Amino acid sequence: MTARVLVVDDLLPNLKLLEARLTAEYFDVVTATNGPDALKICERGECDIVLLDVMMPGMDGFEVCRKLKANPATLHLPVVMVTALDQTADRVRGLEAGADDFLTKPIDEIALIARVRSLSRLKFVVDELRTRAATSANLGVTDATRHTLDDGLGGRILLVDDRTNSAQRICAALRGPYEVDVNIDAHESLFRATEQDYQVVIVSLGLARFDGLRLCSQLRSVDRTRHTPLLILADLEDRQRILRGLDLGVNDYLIRPVDKNEILARVRTQVRHKRYADSLRSSLQAVMELAVVDPLTGLNNRRYLESHLAALLDQAALRGRSVSVMILDIDHFKHVNDGHGHDVGDQVLKGFAARVKRSVRGSDLMCRLGGEEFVVVMPDTNLATAELVAERIRSSVAGTPFPLEGSAQSIPITVSIGLAESPGVEIPAAFLKRADQALYLSKNSGRNRVTAAAA
């Protein structure tokens, strides 16, 4: 999954240098030489992340960042401010303007790429939430798109640090705006993070008895803490571990000795983003329960699919990426209902939905079309990858019979699957029809198989 990066700098050599570095890492690059042009590009949705020079004539980078964060259409865009200024006060000023990070020239190439990758992942998650919120608003069941960034103050912070002096300084910097819990044991910290509603978890990489990066990885693998912002504390010599942390999903980092104003600004930034994403998730959950969820399986229904698929295709066309769709039909499901009753049939449908959902990504859209027919929409996925996923699902369904509640009995089930791929320039109904035709071929060829539609 690549990203489109907007580089904003009034000096052409700087633009060309950053463009070459990012292009070599397979990012798409858009450029602008002044603030007003950059704002227009962002408002048109033509980028995923902004690298913004501070020192520009007319509208400087701080003002551009403030305008981006004040506009509901662009406030979710990650912004990295790039400048020759290296004072802590300048970094804090950038973060208070809403920037997600602040890089100093000359730019460390490895750190730059790692930061862009990390923020791009965050942007794609938020994009998916915003798209689903917009779909819900179009259905007329919510004002789910009316969300803003708050001041980022208040709430609980978990600090995992066994250096007494370091922990005391950080607590002194954060207490007041936040409640800070300090823990020196990594295992206990993982337990506490899953039990409490923390706004941010701060992890020291210098823990004496545990690898801080392993704790970060564990926090990212648990549902309860998957979306909790992670900030790591590191020493200057920890550079490679910092980059590894960013690859693991860490949101931000601080180099010791920690400046009071900088840690407060970085924590506020993470809290603002968390609350924004949480508000989107909360609205979406309520909406789904009211209007667009199949009550039996808990999946989205046909109504939601018909609205959301159009938005996904538009995004694919804009970004030049593929979307694949998979239609699944449980083979001979009528025999289940006729032979065992509709209660058993409902159990099979729920078990089938759960088994398929475990085989797809969280960003994929899985819906129940009706009866025993389901659909999975996979953004940023070509047909070859979709075939691998479909075969994995087919094998999983056929490989293990479905157990029945309150009984030692189980029922063998197979599934027929049809696939299609689209570059986005396609009517949703035509896209689904191609996958449905491929499904028809699977069923006519003996069932329990995967067929892909011709391009």
- Asked if the model's pLDDT at residue 30 lies above 80, the reply is yes
Please tell me the least confidently modeled range out of 37-46, 118-127, 262-271, 293-302: 118-127
**Residue 90: pLDDT over 80:** no
How buried is residue 33: exposed, middle or buried, by Cβ count under 10 Å (0-12/13-18/19+)? middle
Lay out the sheet containing 415-422: strands in order across: 300-301, 365-370, 373-379, 323-330, 415-422, 450-452
d(CA 109, CA 151): 32
Q: Establish whether domains 156-281 and 293-452 are of one fold.
A: no
Cα-Cα end-to-end distance for the chain: 22
User: Is the model more confident about 314 or about 202?
Assistant: 202
What is the dihedral sign for C-alpha 70, 72, 73, 75? positive
d(CA 294, CA 33): 49
Give the lowest-confidence range in 136-150, 169-183, 235-249, 325-339.
136-150
In contact, 202 and 160? CB cutoff 8 Å: yes
Looking at CATH, the fold of the domain delimited by 156-281 is given as: Rossmann fold (3.40.50)
Closest CA to 280 of 155, 151, 150, 144: 144
pLDDT of residue 443: 94
Alpha-carbon gap, residue 62 to 68, rounded angstroms: 10
pLDDT (average), residues 9-28: 92
Cα–Cα distance for residue pair 8/65, rounded to 1 Å = 11
DSSP lists the bridge partners of residue 365 as 377
The CATH number of the structural domain formed by 4-107 is 3.40.50.2300
Q: Supply the mean pLDDT for the chain.
A: 88
C-alpha count within 13 angstroms, C-beta hemisphere, residue 210:
20
In the prediction, which pLDDT does 93 show?
A: 81
The whole-angstrom separation of Cα 202 and Cα 108 is: 24
Catalogue the active-site residues.
Answer: 372
Q: Of the given ranges (11-15, 38-42, 284-288), which has the lowest mean pLDDT?
A: 284-288
pTM above 0.85, yes or no: no
Give me the mean pLDDT over the 53-57 stretch.
91
Q: Name the residue ranges covered by the structural domains of the chain.
A: 4-107, 156-281, 293-452
What is the arithmetic mean of pLDDT over 101-118? 80
* Per-residue confidence band for 404, with pLDDT thresholds at 50, 70 and 90: confident
- Per-residue tokens: 434: 């191609």
**Confidence (pLDDT) at 145:** 47
Comparing 40 with 363, which gets the higher pLDDT? 40
Q: Domain spanning 293-452 has what CATH number?
A: 3.30.70.270
Give the C-alpha separation, 439 to 327, whole Å: 7
Q: Which helix (H) or strand (E) holds 367?
A: strand 365-370
The model's pLDDT over 124-152, given as tens digits with 9 standing for 90+, comes to 777 777 776 676 666 555 554 455 667 78
Residues of the chain above pLDDT 70, percent:
93
> Is the pLDDT confidence value at 237 over 80?
yes
Residue 286 burial (CB count, 10 A): 14
